[in-house]
């Protein structure tokens, strides 16, 4: 958990995010900073939950890690889309903040429609990973559903 929150995780991703303000970065760099930022914490949460539940199956732990990576990145893509398409009242934070800070985002780098397609693909990949797991994934499906349907 400490590694996921520290310089090789969320803190490192946030640093890259701040450094990228007023710069156009590549899609690969954007994905990397998001995988570090939110992705690292989500992966740690899913992995630690699995270990706490007694999971020792390395293949299953790897599949759970892939699931967490998908939803972590999807969270960020969706956050970028909401920043463009939602309102300050609904978001609970200032809408359009990424553009005001001149940040590279999925919509700014890919276009709005391509970013929406990318988001859908990430959620489909996450759902497909859950379907093939030999465990009760009800709680993870509920998390996926909640993330897909969030508006802030």
Phi/psi zone of residue 22: left (φ > 0), alpha (ψ -120 to 50 degrees), beta?
left
Domain harbouring 92, CATH code: 1.10.600.10
CB 17 within 8 A of CB 33: yes
Total Cβ atoms within 10 A of residue 127: 18
* Threshold 0.95, pTM exceeds: no
13-31 pLDDT per residue, tens: 888 888 888 888 999 999 9
Q: For 92-103, what is the mean pLDDT?
A: 90
Query: In degrees rounded to 5, what are phi and psi of residue 129?
Result: -60, -40
pLDDT at 82: 97
pLDDT at 68: 98
Return mean pLDDT, the chain. 93
Is the pLDDT at 39 greater than 90, yes or no? no
The boundaries of the domain holding residue 47 are 2-148
Q: How many domains does the chain have?
A: 1
């Amino acid at each position: 958990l400490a590694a996921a929150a520290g310089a090789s995780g969320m803190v490192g991703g946030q640093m890259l995010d701040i450094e990228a303000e007023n710069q156009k970065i590549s899609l690969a760099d954007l994905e990397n900073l998001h995988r570090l930022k939110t992705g690292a914490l989500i992966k740690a949460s899913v992995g630690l939950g699995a270990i706490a539940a007694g999971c020792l199956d390395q293949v299953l732990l790897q599949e759970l890690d892939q699931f967490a990576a998908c939803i972590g990145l999807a969270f960020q893509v969706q956050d970028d889309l909401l920043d463009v398409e939602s309102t300050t009242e609904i978001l609970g934070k200032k809408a359009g903040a990424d553009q005001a800070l001149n940040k590279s985002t999925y919509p700014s780098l890919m276009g709005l429609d391509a970013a929406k397609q990318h988001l859908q693909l990430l959620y489909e990949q996450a759902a497909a990973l859950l379907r093939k797991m030999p465990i009760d994934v009800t709680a993870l499906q509920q998390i996926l559903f909640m993330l897909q349907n969030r508006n802030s």
